[in-house]
Amino acid sequence: MKFPPHGWLGAIFIAIFWPLNWFLPGLRTHWAFFPLWLGYCLLVDGLVFRRDGTSLLKRSWRKFLSLFLLSVPVWWLFELLNGRLQNWFYDGREFFTDLEYGLLASAAFSTVIPAVFGTAELAAGWGWVQRMGRGPVIRGDRRTTRRFFVTGWLMLALMLLWPRYFFPFVWLSLYFIMEPINIWLGNNNLTRWTQDGDWRPVIALWGGVLLTAFFWEFWNFFSYPKWIYTVPFVGFWHIFEMPFLGYGGYLPFALELYAFYNMVVGLSRKKNFKFVDFVK
């Protein structure tokens, strides 16, 4: 399969906006971030299409676009929770009005879900992921879902009451709340596979989000404006701006994004699960 034109376009966007984002003086990331990450999304999608003959964009450009639209309110929810946690802030925020910041940040936030899902589909095709054997069994039975649901709300409450000590629960609580809801509503969920010990979709999401996270933190390092972390207790062994242990938060974050997506799909009554199933 030939490398598609949109993949080449993504590579061109990266080649242009990566150096602009890093080396221009003054403020530049507020306008360079979106085209840089749009380039990443298109390039990764092109790599998947080149290998598999299918990809998120090629299966449905409308659904691909919907990932950008969904990503905006999802990440704003995490920004809202961070208002309590204060685990990260944006250096350079002070140069923008609230309206400017809201619009520019929304454009940047729109690339989160398509970047993670596209890279997860890329990871799903890695040979070692495909060859994985059976793992632990987690079923979507009544007892398990109830325990997940109660645990999720407990984690959320602890995080809001004592954010200094329970801040990691921001990356866990929402998944524990939403996954049971998706099961109860008959939406797509990860227990479709884990009930048989098949962890390939989970591993694909983890591999995809870690690769995406590398570029998030890598490209952020010389950006301006940029995000900076102020995480209690683990602010050491930095890889770019992110503390080493902080990368562990990306793993449940990917599951939260998947649960958010499936909840929205389920509520819209358009349960076409094939669009973002990370298993071949």
Cα-trace Rg, the chain:
19
175-221 pLDDT, tens digit each: 999 999 999 999 999 999 999 999 999 999 999 999 999 999 999 99
> 189 and 179 in contact (C-beta within 8 Å)?
yes
Domain annotation covers residue 173: no
**Secondary structure of residue 235 in the 3-state scheme:** coil
Domain annotation covers residue 177: no
> 144 and 70 in contact (C-beta within 8 Å)?
no
Domain annotation covers residue 240: yes
Model pLDDT, residue 234: 85
Which residue from 115, 221, 229 is spatially nearest to 170, judged by alpha carbons?
229
Domain annotation covers residue 110: yes
Domain annotation covers residue 179: no
H or E segment at 239? strand 238-239
Domain annotation covers residue 129: yes
11-44 pLDDT, tens digit each: 999 999 999 999 999 999 999 999 999 999 999 9
Domain annotation covers residue 207: yes
Model pLDDT, residue 51: 95
Domain annotation covers residue 93: yes
Number of domains in the chain: 1
46-89 pLDDT, tens digit each: 999 999 999 999 999 999 999 999 999 999 999 999 999 999 99
Q: What does the alpha-carbon distance between residue 221 and residue 260 come to, in Å, rounded to a whole number? A: 29
Query: pLDDT-derived band of residue 280, with 50, 70 and 90 as boundaries?
Result: low
pTM: 0.94
Which domain does 95 fall in, by range? 5-134+199-276
